[in-house]
């Protein structure tokens, strides 16, 4: 029994010991496990705090002295653990009171509230500073007393920089003159910059959260917009010019680039629209094109556009059957109009001619201003040369015959040169050059003329160019002479006077007709000096004859620009004085056309000349205006009936009655008549019957030297 009790006790003891032992083992295993767990967690914490970039974790005691310092803190501040331990946290901040005060107050707040966060400048061991975010957490001891602080410092430099950059970026996007707009993938607007407001007139609020349709114009191309959106949703950019409608209803054109914005997985989440308003640019470009392609004054295309069109039309015409005509047109005596009446009158004339040419052509044709007073026309579908002639006659008729300037009438006549494609040239240059050559020829023929280009023309025109060059020296080289053609009384056959006719004798060209060189003198302005020489020579002759007791009047011709020259009267007066002649011996001949156009000023000039005492003759009467009614307004003395009427006076009854009418009318106005170009006895007789006063012509005498005149007088 005892044994069994003992045994039982033993067994019990064993059981108890075993149980105790196993409990102890379990306990120690748990303790080991706990320690392991703690170690793992510590390591994890260490790993986390040490591994986080730009972050320092350290502990402070309750007085703010450093107690613990992790590798992150070493990296950030540069202090090793033993360098910093037990140093005041103040050594990590710049030495200024304000900062010092803030740190202490941060520790105090943290002690009171449990934690405190702040942005602050901190110092590294090397003295450099950086912007940091600091979180201070109070550590409590088991009795809830303050055990110290855990501090987490994060270097904000990179973030600050990124923030600055972002700020800059958003500012520049905001202030960009270009439109920047962000939509989600459905096209709903999420962001617009200021330019959107400026360009469209809509406020931000009116656009945000709306679809882009708000801005789309009905003039836009819906297909293009669909294509644009599909492209962007497939991850590609799209660029196009898009017409939009502003809030005020106006249309404007944007040069738009739409770029997809994707997330990390490459899915398109948004679309970025950048656009610039190209309407002002387009307007400027159009203006620039206009300026470089069109003439400012007349609004017509300029020479380069003309050449361009000629080349283009040429290609087109060569495919068809029609011929093309190239016309170059020039205003007769334009240089003088500019000189005598001023630039305003010249400009007015150019504008009116331009206008009249423009309305004379059809839509396909071109009218351009090629140079100062030169115009160009391209005419299409010409079947025969007479089509061009009809056209030229039409424009010569349509162009205003007279232009008023400052109360004065200026006559307008044109000269026109014509070349035909393909006969006269295959390229624009040749065609224009040949039309110009023909124009030169037309001008040489006198006013209101046109000429077709012919291949032998170049020779003639070159001759004219050379002649003009030689003419420059003619006066100095004494190549001019005056010849005198007498005119006689029809009643007695006595010489009544002579007309001084200018001749040019040149080694190269021989004796040149005034019909050829007078227009050149006019064109170049040389007529003023040459005219003065004529006047002096004629007056010298009057004086010489006077000295020889031969009181013979002399007529001197004045051309248009001489008559309109501002010093004409002074010149006449001074030459008369210079040679001391009786002014009544001098007659000035002016053609009818010089009078008719600017009547008021012509009357003033004539009155001034008459006041000097000279006589005035109307030359070539009947060729210009052919109206007698205005004659009475002019203080003139003689009417010279043009030879074209005299030619037929004996054969054609119409011519006879016309000449008779002129004579009667002139007589009724107390004017004396001189018939020009009398070549036959019949003409002489009939003119005498018609009571014409005087006659001039080959029938009696050609233009001869002064000595021969003297012989004729004997």
Question: Which spans of this chain sit near Mg ion (rule: CB under 5 A)?
Answer: 557, 589, 619-620, 676
Exactly one of 73, 416, 502, 554 binds ligand C2E (CB under 6 A); that residue is 502
Where do the DSSP E strands lie in 520-643? 554-558, 586-591, 615-621, 638-641
**β pairing state of 495-506 and 510-512:** antiparallel
Residue 436, contacted partner among Mg ion, ligand C2E, none, CB below 5-8 A by kind: none
Exactly one of 485, 498, 561, 673 binds ligand C2E (CB under 6 A); that residue is 485
Which tokens belong to 655?
């011519």
Task: Name the minimum Å distance from CB 532 to Mg ion.
Answer: 17
State which residue has the least CB distance to ligand C2E. 697
For residues 273 and 228, the answer to whether their CB atoms sit within 8 Å is no
Task: Name the minimum Å distance from CB 499 to Mg ion.
Answer: 5
Exactly one of 277, 332, 619, 693 binds ligand C2E (CB under 6 A); that residue is 619
Exactly one of 620, 637, 708, 710 binds ligand C2E (CB under 6 A); that residue is 620
Nearer to ligand C2E, 149 or 684 (CB): 684
**β pairing state of 374-382 and 402-405:** unpaired
Does 559 bind ligand C2E (CB under 6 A)? Our answer is yes
Task: Name the minimum Å distance from CB 432 to ligand C2E.
Answer: 32
Count the residues of the shown chain that bind ligand C2E, applying the rule CB under 6 A: 24
Which tokens belong to 476?
């100095």
Nearer to Mg ion, 256 or 619 (CB): 619
Exactly one of 492, 513, 629, 707 binds ligand C2E (CB under 6 A); that residue is 513
CA distances from 22 to 15, 18, 25, 27, 387 (A): 10, 6, 5, 8, 133
- For residue 553, the SS3 value is coil
Task: Name the minimum Å distance from CB 673 to Mg ion.
Answer: 13
Nearer to ligand C2E, 224 or 528 (CB): 528
- Using left for φ > 0, alpha for ψ between -120 and 50, and beta otherwise, residue 333 falls in left
Does 558 bind ligand C2E (CB under 6 A)? Our answer is yes
Q: Cα angle vertex 524, ends 523, 530, to 5°? A: 105
Does 486 bind ligand C2E (CB under 6 A)? Our answer is no
Exactly one of 460, 514, 613, 624 binds ligand C2E (CB under 6 A); that residue is 514
Task: Name the minimum Å distance from CB 281 to ligand C2E.
Answer: 58
Exposure string of 89-122, with b = 16+ CB inside 10 Å and e = fewer, is beebbeeeeebeeebeebbebbbeeeebeeebeb
Which tokens belong to 609?
């000349």
Stretch that binds ligand C2E, among 11-19, 252-260, 469-477, 508-516 (CB under 6 A): 508-516
For 452-511, the DSSP string reads: E--TTHHHHHHHHHHHHHHHTTTTTTT-EEEEEEEEEETTT--EEEEEEEEEEEETTTEE
Task: Name the minimum Å distance from CB 384 to ligand C2E.
Answer: 35
DSSP 70: -
Exactly one of 338, 498, 557, 656 binds ligand C2E (CB under 6 A); that residue is 557
Backbone angles phi, psi at 41, to 5 degrees: -65, -40
As a whole number of angstroms, the distance between CA 91 and CA 636 comes to: 119
Where do the DSSP E strands lie in 178-322? 179-184, 189-192, 238-245, 251-262, 268-277
Exactly one of 340, 703, 706, 709 binds ligand C2E (CB under 6 A); that residue is 703
As a whole number of angstroms, the distance between CA 108 and CA 102 comes to: 10
As a whole number of angstroms, the distance between CA 285 and CA 48 comes to: 64
Stretch that binds ligand C2E, among 153-161, 292-300, 660-668, 697-705 (CB under 6 A): 697-705
Exactly one of 156, 471, 518, 520 binds ligand C2E (CB under 6 A); that residue is 518
Most distant CA pair in the chain, distance: 209
Which tokens belong to 261?
């914005």
Does 695 bind ligand C2E (CB under 6 A)? Our answer is no
Residues 442-481, one symbol each (x = binds ligand C2E by CB under 6 A, - = not), give: ----------------------------------------
Nearer to Mg ion, 294 or 625 (CB): 625
- For residue 574, the SS3 value is helix
Nearer to Mg ion, 26 or 702 (CB): 702
Residue 501, contacted partner among ligand C2E, Mg ion, none, CB below 5-8 A by kind: ligand C2E
Residue owning tokens 């660029």: 239
Nearer to ligand C2E, 302 or 541 (CB): 541
For residues 369 and 375, the answer to whether their CB atoms sit within 8 Å is yes
Helices and strands per DSSP (H, E), number in the chain:
25, 26
Stretch that binds ligand C2E, among 32-40, 317-325, 387-395, 511-519 (CB under 6 A): 511-519
- For residue 138, the SS3 value is strand
* Residues 567-596 within binding reach of ligand C2E (CB under 6 A): 589
Stretch that binds ligand C2E, among 77-85, 401-409, 413-421, 509-517 (CB under 6 A): 509-517
As a whole number of angstroms, the distance between CA 565 and CA 526 comes to: 12
Strand order of the β-sheet with 55-61 is 66-69, 55-61, 146-155, 129-140, 115-123
Residues 629-668, one symbol each (x = binds ligand C2E by CB under 6 A, - = not), give: --------------x-------------------------
Does 615 bind ligand C2E (CB under 6 A)? Our answer is no
Does 679 bind ligand C2E (CB under 6 A)? Our answer is yes
Task: Name the minimum Å distance from CB 330 to ligand C2E.
Answer: 22
* Residues 54-93 within binding reach of ligand C2E (CB under 6 A): none
- In 320-398, alpha helices (H): 334-341, 343-360, 385-398
Nearer to ligand C2E, 405 or 485 (CB): 485
Nearer to ligand C2E, 52 or 526 (CB): 526
Measured over the CA atoms of residue 308, residue 314, residue 320 and residue 325, the dihedral's sign is: positive
Does 424 bind ligand C2E (CB under 6 A)? Our answer is no
Exactly one of 301, 440, 622, 677 binds ligand C2E (CB under 6 A); that residue is 677
Nearer to ligand C2E, 206 or 679 (CB): 679
Task: Name the minimum Å distance from CB 555 to ligand C2E.
Answer: 8
* Closest CA relative to residue 439, chosen from 313, 511, 331: 331
* Closest CA relative to residue 194, chosen from 215, 217, 171: 171
* Residue 40 CB burial class (10 angstroms; 0-12, 13-18, ≥19): exposed
Task: Name the minimum Å distance from CB 531 to Mg ion.
Answer: 13
For residues 427 and 314, the answer to whether their CB atoms sit within 8 Å is yes
Nearer to ligand C2E, 56 or 641 (CB): 641
Residues 524-543, one symbol each (x = binds ligand C2E by CB under 6 A, - = not), give: -------x--x---------
> How many residues would you count in the chain?
714
As a whole number of angstroms, the distance between CA 368 and CA 538 comes to: 47
Residue 50, contacted partner among Mg ion, ligand C2E, none, CB below 5-8 A by kind: none
Nearer to Mg ion, 300 or 588 (CB): 588
Q: Using CB under 6 A as the criterion, which residues of the chain lie in contact with ligand C2E when the complex forms?
A: 485, 501-502, 513-515, 518, 531, 534, 557-559, 589, 619-620, 643, 676-679, 696-698, 703
């Amino acid at each position: 029994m005892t044994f069994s009790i003992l045994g039982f006790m033993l067994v019990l003891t064993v059981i108890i010991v075993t149980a105790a032992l196993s409990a102890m083992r379990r306990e120690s295993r748990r303790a080991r496990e706990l320690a392991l767990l703690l170690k793992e967690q510590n390591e994890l914490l260490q790993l986390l705090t040490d591994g986080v970039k730009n972050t320092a974790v350290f502990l402070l005691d309750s007085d703010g002295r450093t107690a613990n310092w992790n590798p992150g803190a070493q990296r950030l501040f540069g202090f090793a653990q033993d360098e910093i331990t037990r140093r005041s946290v103040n050594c990590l901040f710049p030495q200024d009171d304000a900062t010092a005060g803030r740190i202490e107050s941060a520790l105090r707040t943290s002690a009171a509230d449990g934690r405190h966060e702040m942005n602050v400048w901190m110092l590294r061991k090397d003295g450099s500073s950086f912007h940091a975010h600091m979180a201070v957490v109070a550590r409590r001891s088991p009795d809830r007393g303050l055990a110290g602080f855990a501090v987490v410092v994060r270097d904000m430099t990179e973030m600050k920089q990124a923030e600055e950059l972002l700020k800059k970026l958003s500012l520049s996007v905001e202030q960009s003159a270009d439109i920047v707009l962000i939509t989600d993938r459905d096209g709903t607007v999420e962001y617009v910059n200021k330019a959107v407001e400026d360009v469209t007139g809509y406020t931000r609020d009116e656009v945000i959260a709306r679809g882009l349709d708000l801005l789309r114009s009905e003039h836009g191309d819906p297909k293009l917009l669909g294509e644009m959106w599909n492209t962007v949703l497939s991850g590609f950019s799209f660029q196009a010019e898009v017409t939009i409608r502003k809030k005020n209803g106006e249309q404007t054109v944007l040069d738009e680039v739409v770029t997809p914005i994707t997330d990390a997985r490459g899915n398109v989440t948004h679309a970025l629209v950048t656009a610039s308003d190209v309407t002002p640019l387009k307007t400027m470009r159009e203006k620039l094109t206009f300026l470089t392609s069109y003439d400012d004054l007349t609004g017509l295309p300029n020479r380069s556009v003309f050449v361009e069109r000629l080349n283009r039309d040429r290609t087109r015409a060569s495919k068809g059957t029609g011929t093309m005509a190239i016309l170059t047109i020039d205003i007769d005596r334009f240089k003088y109009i500019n000189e005598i009446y001023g630039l305003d009158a010249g400009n007015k004339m150019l504008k009116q001619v331009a206008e009249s040419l423009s309305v004379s052509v059809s839509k396909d044709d071109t009218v351009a201003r090629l140079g100062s007073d030169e115009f160009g026309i391209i005419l299409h579908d010409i079947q025969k040369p007479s089509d061009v002639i009809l056209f030229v006659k039409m424009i010569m008729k349509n162009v205003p015959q007279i232009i008023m300037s400052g109360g004065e009438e200026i006559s307008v006549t044109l000269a026109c040169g014509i070349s035909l494609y393909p006969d006269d040239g295959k390229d624009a240059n040749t065609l224009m050059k040949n039309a110009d050559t023909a124009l030169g020829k037309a001008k040489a023929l006198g006013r209101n003329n046109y000429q077709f280009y012919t291949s032998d023309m170049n020779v003639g025109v070159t001759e004219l160019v050379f002649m003009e060059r030689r003419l420059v020296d003619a006066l100095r080289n004494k190549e001019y002479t005056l010849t005198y053609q007498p005119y006689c009384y029809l009643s007695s056959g006595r010489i009544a006077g002579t007309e001084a006719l200018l001749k040019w004798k040149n080694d190269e060209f021989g004796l040149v007709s005034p019909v050829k060189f007078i227009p050149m003198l006019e064109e170049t302005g040389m007529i003023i000096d040459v005219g003065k020489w004529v006047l002096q020579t004629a007056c010298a002759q009057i004086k010489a004859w006077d000295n020889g007791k031969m009181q013979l009047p002399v007529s001197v011709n004045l051309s248009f620009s001489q008559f309109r020259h501002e010093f004409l009267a002074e010149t006449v007066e001074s030459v008369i004085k210079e040679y001391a002649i009786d002014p009544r011996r001098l007659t000035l001949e002016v053609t009818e056309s010089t009078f008719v156009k600017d009547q008021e000023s012509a009357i003033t000039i004539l009155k001034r000349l008459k006041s000097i005492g000279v006589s005035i003759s109307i030359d070539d009467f009947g060729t210009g205006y052919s109206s007698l009614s205005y004659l009475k307004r002019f203080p003139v003395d003689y009417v010279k009936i043009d030879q074209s009427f005299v030619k037929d006076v004996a054969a054609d009854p119409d011519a006879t009655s016309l000449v008779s009418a002129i004579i009667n009318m002139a007589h009724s106005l107390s004017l004396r008549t001189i018939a020009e170009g009398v070549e036959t006895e019949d003409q002489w007789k009939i003119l005498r019957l018609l009571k014409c006063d005087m006659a001039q012509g080959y029938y009696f005498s050609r233009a001869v030297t002064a000595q021969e005149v003297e012989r004729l007088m004997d």
